[in-house]
Amino acid sequence: MVDKLLNTGELKNILINEMKGIFGEDTRRINHALNVLSNAEAINSKENGDEITVITAAILHDIGIQEAERKHGSSAGNYQEIEGPPIARRILSNLDIPDETVEHICRIIGSHHSANDIDTIEFRVIWDSDWIVNIPDEFPDYGREKTEELIGKIMKTCSGRDRAREVLL
């Protein structure tokens, strides 16, 4: 267990492969997860959340999206929040990650659209990392000023705000 816990590079590769296996041909979603991961690593290097939790949640945060579409005919956030955690739990059950870390990761995935259930530092890092990628998609018409205002409102960490300004403005 210790070896795997310490080797975040190896864990990252395993999880990226699992995520790619599930998303298949859907390169847009694969790239989304990878972009969220690079934001999360950058933000967390300053916020100092638990690295395993942040990396894992970043890679797997949208993992329920296809199941949501299959089962509910919709990729709406609430369906993703229902379908994501069981898939993440299944992937993580094959890895030596402590139970409480798995539960934390699943709570982040189960709340990443609503922020209903959780407000840990790791959750905030994932929240900000996802929004940095989503803002240009969801608000394509926003100019610099409105984007700046949105960053101020949405982001939950100082480092997330800094990175959002760097990337988006």
Given the rule CB under 5 A, which residues bind Fe ion?
Answer: 62, 130
Q: With both helix axes pointing from N to C terminus, report the angle between 158-168 and 27-47 in degrees, rounded to the nearest 10.
A: 130
Tell which phi-psi region holds residue 115, choosing left (phi > 0), alpha (psi between -120 and 50) or beta. left
Nearest approach, Cβ of residue 168 and Fe ion (Å) = 16
CB of 37 to Fe ion, least distance (A): 11
Nearest by Cα to 123 from 150, 97, 105, 135: 105
Of the pair 83, 130, the CB lying nearest Fe ion is at: 130
Contact indicator for 167, 132 with CB cutoff of 8 Å = yes
Q: CB nearer to Fe ion: give 62 or 83.
A: 62
Nearer to Fe ion, 61 or 161 (CB): 61
In angstroms, what is the minimal distance from the CB of 5 to Fe ion? Answer: 25
